[in-house]
Amino acid sequence: MDIFGRNATLSIVMGIAINNLKGTVAALAALVMFSTSCIAQQADSRDEDALLQQLILATPEQATGIDRQLQALWSQSGSASADLLLERGREALDNGDVDVAIEHLTALTDHAPEFAEGWHLRASAFFGIERFGMAAADLEYALTLNPKNYEAIYGLGLIFEVLEQPEKAYDAYSRALAIHPHHEEVTNAVNRLKPQIEGKAL
């Protein structure tokens, strides 16, 4: 919900489970191995647009490597000090020290306000202590900087679902799935809410 991530990447984010959330929010902490597929090899790991296009066309196996390349790309601030604050924030989240994580990530957003991943990861920290309004605000800002960050969009969906706004949650999940069609957690979320949304439509 960073939001809402995979270990050493921005996707630590939404892996924190919330007791009142229907269904288990799978942890996003495990790093995946680089894909050896042709599609992943053809995409320049520094070219966001190319990677996003490849992600849409990829098989599930190929998408794994492309996803990792995107997470690595989005975690590059271009500043050594910002990178250090991001890493310290991640380490604090990994250690369960949310207050320290928020301190580091607030320093990061102050120091590098145009670095989307700082806002995304801080949203994860806020989500973990159920400060959903602040998490949503950080995610919205992160998405103004990086509109294609499907993890941040997924995080918004999780917040809406926790707040019992299934239509908004479903819309967010659908947006994320349109960018990353093989995202397992997003797919599960869409399938979880689809009967409820379709039932209301009837």
69 neighbors 49 (Cβ within 8 angstroms):
no
User: What is the mean predicted confidence (pLDDT) over 1-24?
Assistant: 39
pTM, entire model: 0.77
197 neighbors 166 (Cβ within 8 angstroms):
yes
Distances (CA, A) of 84 to 42, 75, 134, 142, 155: 31, 11, 23, 19, 24
pLDDT, position 67: 97
pLDDT, position 173: 98
pLDDT digits (tens, 9 = 90+) for 17-27: 344 343 333 33
pLDDT, position 199: 75
User: What is the mean predicted confidence (pLDDT) over 176-200?
Assistant: 94
pLDDT digits (tens, 9 = 90+) for 124-138: 999 999 999 999 999
Q: Which residue has the tokens 């869409």?
A: 190
Give the sign of the dihedral formed by CA 20, CA 140, CA 175, CA 104.
negative
Q: What CA–CA distance (Å, rounded) separates 150 from 172? A: 9
pLDDT, position 14: 40
* Position 198 confidence tier, pLDDT thresholds 50, 70, 90: confident
pLDDT digits (tens, 9 = 90+) for 154-170: 999 999 999 999 999 99
Domains and CATH numbers, the chain: 10-201 (1.25.40.10)
pLDDT, position 46: 65
Q: Over 80: is that where the pLDDT of 28 sits?
A: no
Output DSSP code: residue 33: P
pLDDT, position 60: 95
28 neighbors 15 (Cβ within 8 angstroms):
yes
pLDDT, position 200: 73
Distances (CA, A) of 79 to 86, 90, 92, 166: 10, 16, 20, 39
pLDDT digits (tens, 9 = 90+) for 58-105: 999 999 999 999 999 999 999 999 999 999 999 999 999 999 999 999
Q: Over 60: is that where the pLDDT of 5 sits?
A: no
pLDDT, position 202: 52
Q: Over 50: is that where the pLDDT of 141 sits?
A: yes
